[in-house]
């Protein structure tokens, strides 16, 4: 029996960040939206915002239009800082396709 | 794709997401399924749990393939690579310790030297990772300097490889090489430069290695990590040289144009193509030379004058594309007073798109959706130029020594990247060994 030992070609990866803990409940929380303004996000995100508002009367929603929109703008650190500055507890980002 | 993107940000390859078939995302699509999945959105913010709670480096182990004989082991390795989604459908060489060590002779950098993360997945590209792909792709050590320089250019944030890796567009990187290294490693600048050529094998291996890196380290697996609908020229991408020896007097090289790197120095220039068109540029042979020159350039300009949304992504600082022109054509045009700058100026001017067509084709909205203010502000220019300046157009003297065709490679490139190629101290020895093993090249013709 012959053996061939070869490298895995996918390379190393490094996990440097952990996902934020989930919220126990959305009641009374601030939920921000970020949009790449593609793939019908302009229809879907407002619908979700409205449904969240109906479910949680005391929820605070920050619409996607209050932040930079587009694939490149939502990828910038500055956009993340804007979200943090608005004290968002959670963020919904759309849409990938 | 989302898991890839999350991994590229430094998280584990895991995400809280709600997934739907494509239908709701289409223009006018029924978005009711989004509303019906409302509870899943809520759960994503409340109940979802990541699979990993630890940070740290994940270094994959080597694979041990056992079989009865080397050939059977290599067959088994190739099957295993396909099963692991690491192959491209063509046979690979075994990236063994011995072969990868041989390839690494092409660089003086430490094998664990990090070039960067290949996005969206975020796999770490070290010199060793790059050598592994080149070994598997059939490369040789003397190809490594070009591959490293090309990967440095691809990982330059200015070219936004995270975007074109994941896009639905059929993007692929194009690597143009300048300097003596091109001939030394048998890189094609002439007939058939975009395709396989046994006398110029370097471009195929280097380009294939780039593809393997983008797929395996960067996660660009079709339909999963890259949504590229057609995939472009991805088996080998496009890696070729400029035909520097016979440039008309006064013509600058591509590396001089874009990076100010002097002629005679080794350099790569990288942009991202989305398509390729062969253009019959000459006349029937009965025109006057001036008439043929003017008509041929006008014909080329008509190919450039397409309402491509990709131009909007490249408009401010990138390139609309590269025009390949054989030295035969370049010298003919130059003799008629068409220097390089005049040609670029003419093509830029003549390829401007009438405002009515910009609006009629919906290009106007794409320009307005561009990520930078300069491009957005250009939307009302009438006619609309395909780039901010003529200099952004890449004009590369390359292709078979024949007068009939030009080749246009339209781009989606927010910025052209590249730079100098670093050679190892034992470069001359590597080239001498290449000549010994493959036969020396004389007069531009290689024995193999």
Q: Where are the domains of chain B?
A: 2-46, 70-238+434-448, 274-415
Decide: B407 and B165 in contact? Cβ < 8 Å: no
- Is A19 part of a structural domain of the chain? no
What does the pLDDT read at residue B419?
98
Q: What is the pTM of this model?
A: 0.91
What does the pLDDT read at residue B10?
87
Q: Which residues of A touch B (CB under 8 A)?
A: 1-19, 22-26, 31, 37, 39-40, 43-44, 47-48, 51-52, 55, 70-73, 75, 90, 92, 95-97
Asked if pLDDT for residue A38 goes beyond 80, the answer is yes
- Is A83 part of a structural domain of the chain? yes
* B95 at A interface, C-beta within 8 A: yes
**Which whole-number Å values give the CA distances from B257 to B261, B407, B416, in the listed order?**
8, 19, 11
Grouped pLDDT means (10 residues each) for chain B, 448 residues? 82 89 92 94 94 90 95 96 97 98 98 96 97 98 98 97 92 97 96 93 97 97 90 91 95 98 97 95 95 98 97 97 98 98 98 98 96 96 98 98 97 97 98 92 61
Close Cβ partners of B386 (under 8 Å, ≥ 6 residues apart): B304, B305, B308, B311, B315, B320, B348, B351, B352, B353
Q: What is the CA radius of gyration of chain A?
A: 19
- Is A14 part of a structural domain of the chain? no
What is the mean predicted confidence (pLDDT) over A36-61?
95
Write out chain B residues lying below 8 Å of A47, CB-based.
31, 34-35
- Report the distance separating Cα B70 and Cα B398, nearest Å: 42
- Is A89 part of a structural domain of the chain? yes
- Is A39 part of a structural domain of the chain? yes
**Which whole-number Å values give the CA distances from B241 to B100, B179, B193, B244, B411, in the listed order?**
25, 8, 8, 8, 18
Write out chain A residues lying below 8 Å of B72, CB-based.
2
Contact check, Cβ <8 Å, A5/B95: no
Write out chain A residues lying below 8 Å of B136, CB-based.
9
What does the pLDDT read at residue A71?
83
- What is the torsional sign of CA B261, B264, B268, B271? positive
Q: How many C-beta atoms lie closer than 10 Å to residue B136's C-beta?
A: 31
What does the pLDDT read at residue B444?
58
Helix axes B327-335, B340-350, angle to 10 degrees: 90
What does the pLDDT read at residue B181?
97
Contact check, Cβ <8 Å, A6/B47: no
What does the pLDDT read at residue B445?
60
What does the pLDDT read at residue B427?
98
- Is A1 part of a structural domain of the chain? no
Instruction: Enumerate the H helices of B260-318 as residue ranges.
Output: 289-304, 310-314
Residue B245, CA atoms < 13 Å, CB-side half-sphere: 11
What does the pLDDT read at residue B443?
62
- Is A17 part of a structural domain of the chain? no
Q: Residue B414's closest chain A neighbor by CA?
A: A72
What does the pLDDT read at residue A73?
87
Domain of residue A84: give its range: 30-94
Token pair recorded at residue A61 = 């929603």
What does the pLDDT read at residue B272?
98
Decide: B318 and B413 in contact? Cβ < 8 Å: yes
Q: Which of B16, B34, B139 is best to mutate for the A interface (most A CBs within 10 A)?
A: B34
Of B206, B256, B274, nearest in space to B396 by CA: B256
- Is A85 part of a structural domain of the chain? yes
CA angle B403, B406, B412 (to 5 degrees): 165
- What is the torsional sign of CA A78, A79, A84, A85? positive
What does the pLDDT read at residue B384?
98
What is the mean predicted confidence (pLDDT) over A12-29?
94
Name the DSSP class of B384: B
Decide: A28 and A58 in contact? Cβ < 8 Å: yes
Q: Which of A1, A11, A69 is best to mutate for the B interface (most B CBs within 10 A)?
A: A11
What does the pLDDT read at residue B224?
85
Å from B233 to nearest chain A CA?
22
- Structural domains of chain A, count: 1
- Report the distance separating Cα A68 and Cα B425, nearest Å: 49
């Amino acid at each position: 029996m012959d053996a061939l030992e070869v490298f895995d070609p996918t390379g190393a990866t490094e996990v440097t960040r952990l996902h934020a803990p989930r919220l126990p409940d959305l009641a009374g929380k601030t939920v921000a939206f970020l949009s790449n303004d593609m793939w019908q996000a302009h229809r879907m995100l407002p619908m979700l915002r409205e449904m969240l508002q109906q479910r949680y009367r005391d929820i605070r929603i920050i619409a996607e239009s209050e932040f930079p929109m587009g694939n490149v703008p939502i990828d910038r650190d500055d956009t993340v800082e804007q979200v943090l500055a608005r004290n968002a507890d959670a963020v919904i980002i759309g849409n990938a396709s | 794709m989302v898991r890839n993107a999350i991994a590229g940000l430094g998280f584990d390859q895991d995400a809280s997401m709600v997934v739907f078939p494509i239908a709701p995302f289409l223009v006018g699509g029924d978005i009711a399924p989004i509303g019906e999945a409302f509870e899943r959105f809520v759960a994503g913010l409340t109940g979802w749990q990541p699979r990993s709670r630890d940070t740290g480096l994940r270094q994959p182990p080597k694979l041990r393939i056992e079989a009865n004989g080397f050939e059977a082991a290599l067959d088994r390795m190739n099957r295993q690579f396909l099963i692991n989604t690491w192959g491209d459908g063509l046979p690979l060489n075994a990236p063994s310790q011995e072969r990868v060590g041989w390839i690494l002779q092409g660089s003086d950098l430490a094998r664990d030297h990090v070039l960067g993360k290949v996005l969206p997945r975020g796999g770490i590209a070290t010199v060793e990772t790059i050598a592994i792909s080149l070994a598997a792709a059939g490369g040789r050590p003397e190809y490594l300097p070009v591959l490293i320089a090309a990967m440095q250019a691809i990982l330059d944030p200015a070219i936004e490889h995270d975007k074109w890796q994941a896009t639905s567009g059929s993007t692929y990187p194009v690597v143009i090489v300048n300097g003596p290294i091109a001939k030394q490693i048998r890189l094609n600048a002439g007939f058939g430069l975009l395709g396989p050529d046994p006398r110029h094998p370097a471009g195929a291996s280097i380009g294939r290695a780039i593809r393997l890196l983008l797929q395996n380290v960067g996660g660009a697996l079709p339909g999963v990590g890259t949504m590229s609908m057609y995939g472009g020229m991805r088996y080998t991408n496009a890696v070729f040289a400029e035909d520097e020896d016979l440039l008309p007097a006064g013509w600058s090289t591509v590396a001089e144009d874009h990076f100010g790197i002097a002629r005679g120095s080794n350099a790569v220039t990288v942009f991202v193509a989305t398509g390729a068109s062969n253009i019959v540029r000459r006349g029937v042979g009965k025109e006057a030379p001036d008439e043929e020159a003017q008509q041929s350039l006008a014909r080329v300009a008509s190919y450039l004058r397409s309402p491509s949304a990709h131009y909007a992504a490249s408009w401010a600082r990138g390139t609309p594309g590269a025009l390949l022109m054989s030295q035969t054509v370049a010298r003919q045009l130059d003799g008629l007073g068409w220097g390089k700058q005049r040609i670029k100026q003419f093509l830029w001017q003549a390829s401007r798109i009438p405002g009515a067509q910009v609006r009629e084709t919906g290009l106007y909205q794409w320009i307005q959706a561009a990520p930078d203010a300069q491009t957005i502000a250009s939307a009302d220019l009438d006619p609309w130029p395909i780039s901010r300046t003529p200099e952004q157009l890449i004009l590369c003297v390359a292709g078979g020594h024949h007068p009939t065709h030009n080749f246009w490679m339209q781009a989606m490139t927010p910025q052209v990247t590249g730079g100098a190629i670093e050679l190892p101290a034992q470069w001359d020895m590597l080239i001498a060994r290449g000549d010994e093993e493959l036969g020396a090249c004389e007069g531009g013709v290689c024995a193999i």
